[in-house]
Amino acid sequence: MSTSKPTIILAIESSCDETACAVVQKYPDNNFASIIASTTATSLAKHKVTKGIVPEVAAREQLQYILPVIENTLAQASLKVLDIDFIAVTVGPGLVGSLLVGIETARALSFAWNKPIIPVNHIQAHPYANFIIRENTHTSTFPLLSWVISGGHTEVSILHSHSETQKLGSTIDDAAGECFDKCARVLGFDYPGGPFIEKIANETAVSTSFTLPRPLLHDKNFNMSFSGLKTAFFRTFEKHKLDYEAEELNSLLAQELQEAVTDIIIKKTEFALQQFPEVQSIIVSGGVAANKKLREKLKTFSETHHKGLYFPPLSLCTDNAAMIGTYALFHTDLQTSWKNIAVQLN
């Protein structure tokens, strides 16, 4: 580790139902950041009642949590305000009401503490969960193939460097996580449904009783679609709900849904490597990156193709402020005054 002084950032994330703050640092010569302190509060319990996020409820909860979360993170970090070099904040995309709570708080801190502020795009920040130090920290060189697979986004890009991202494609309708959430809801599970799908998929022996479509699988581009898959799932469930015991049907359908979603991701990864053979490693992020079936299938794929493969630890797959701060540590050139910060919805 370098002996020069690290850059220290206080980061805030409030784009959806998580309210998060982290203090992260990076030494000038290092290709990774480390977490000094991190706190995440979630309004998930409120959204279970409505089986999905109601934006206004999420925004009100952000307001309740934001200052206690920052206070707690600063106490954990036990450093002086003087030690903090920048404030970083998610400016979009996300729910406007939720974003505004984080943005206004960050602007107020930037103003009061006289620190420059770094605006961060939530989707561009997700992959940076792979640039936070741990046992097998990502140290591979660019270019990297980067997947962001969450409840709001499913997108694949080539990271040529920290300053050059080439978006290859994304879903043209629902995100992969959204597809898991909506299918799980039909089976009677709470939001977020992805972890339930993963759990019940393992509750029966592997079977090919059902076949769901893999939309756009063979198209020679990076468009993806999960809406048709969701509709096919609903129809198959309705058609067969009297033919099976509920638990067996749920498990068989969850198994096939998981296979279909992961097949789409593997196929587009394969196509990306054909187009960009110079890619060194694959990095995956977003809530769905927690999925074990996806991890297994990508591991087999990357070993066969002699590519590195990196996932964040489970706690950094879903939304957090450490990834926002880490992105900012690699993009300090984006620093500006609180006067120039506004919501950016795409």
Among 150, 157, 250, 302, binds Zn ion (CB under 5 A): 150
CB 119 within 8 A of CB 327: no
Q: Which does 127 bind (CB under 5 to 8 A by kind): Zn ion, ligand KG4, none?
A: none
* Residue 288 interacts with which of Zn ion, ligand KG4, none, CB < 5 to 8 Å by class: ligand KG4
Q: How far is the CB of 157 from ligand KG4 (least distance, A)?
A: 16
Shortest separation between residue 337's beta carbon and ligand KG4, angstroms:
28
Q: In what order do the strands lie in the sheet with 117-121?
A: 34-42, 18-26, 7-13, 86-92, 117-121
Euclidean distance between CA atoms 198 and 317, whole angstroms: 15
Indicate the burial class of 224 (C-beta count within 10 angstroms; 0-12, 13-18, 19 or more).
buried
Residue located via tokens 């499913």: 154
Written as six digits, the tokens of 172 are 């043209």
Pick the closest to residue 86 from 116, 111, 107 (CA basis): 116
- CB nearer ligand KG4, residue 25 or residue 146: 146
Q: Which is nearer to ligand KG4, 83 or 190 (CB)?
A: 190
Contacting Zn ion (CB under 5 A), which of 249, 319, 325, 331? 319
**Backbone region of residue 78 per phi and psi (left: phi > 0; alpha: psi in -120 to 50; beta: other values):** left
Considering CB under 5 A, how many residues would be counted as binding Zn ion? 2
**85 or 319, CB closer to Zn ion?**
319
What is the three-class DSSP state of 34? strand
- Contacted entry of Zn ion, ligand KG4, none for residue 291, CB cut-off 5 to 8 Å set by kind: ligand KG4
Determine, following the binding rule CB under 5 A, whether residue 13 of this chain makes contact with Zn ion: no
Distance CA 269, CA 222 (A): 9
When the beta carbons of 105 and 150 are compared against Zn ion, the nearer one is: 150
Q: Is the bond leading into 93 cis (omega within 30 degrees of zero)?
A: yes
Instruction: Tell the smallest beta-carbon distance from residue 206 to ligand KG4 (Å).
Output: 17
Show the tokens assigned to 101: 């709570």
Q: Which stretch binds Zn ion (CB under 5 A): 77-85, 144-152, 202-210, 309-317?
A: 144-152
Residues that bind ligand KG4 (CB under 6 A): 16, 150-152, 177-178, 180-181, 192-195, 198, 286-288, 290-291, 318-319
At closest approach, how far in Å is the CB of 156 from Zn ion? 15
Nearer Cβ to ligand KG4, position 155 or 178? 178
Closest to ligand KG4 by CB, 61 vs 178, is 178
Q: Are 69 and 62 in contact (CB under 8 A)?
A: no
Sign, CA dihedral 291-298-35-125, equals negative
- Residues in contact with Zn ion by CB under 5 A are 150, 319
